[in-house]
Amino acid sequence: MTKQITNKTAHGVMVWDTEEKRSYLMTNDEAAKLEKEQGATGEPAVDKAEEKPKPTKTKPASKKEETTDGE
């Protein structure tokens, strides 16, 4: 299949067609059939965009104390 489900909404499902390189809105019934076909062929459906990992908050490295006596 060249169609991937990108976004599910209340009115239908947004589908990306990799062969035609365009997206379009599909009804929920048509999308259910598409999911069944993709499940049978082993192609995973894309439910939503991949989430980026959240950056962790880290403290900045403390500066080494400088001495004025040359050491």
pLDDT tens digits along 44-68: 555 555 666 777 777 666 666 666 7
C-beta separation of 5 from 15 below 8 A: yes
Which tens digit of pLDDT belongs to each residue from 35-47?
A: 888 877 655 555 5
C-beta separation of 24 from 17 below 8 A: yes
State which H helix or E strand residue 37 sits in.
Answer: helix 28-41
What average pLDDT is seen over the chain? 76
pLDDT in the model for residue 25: 92
* Among the listed residues 3, 1, 50, the one whose alpha carbon sits nearest the alpha carbon of residue 26: 3
**In terms of pLDDT, which residue wins out, 56 or 11?**
11
pLDDT in the model for residue 53: 72
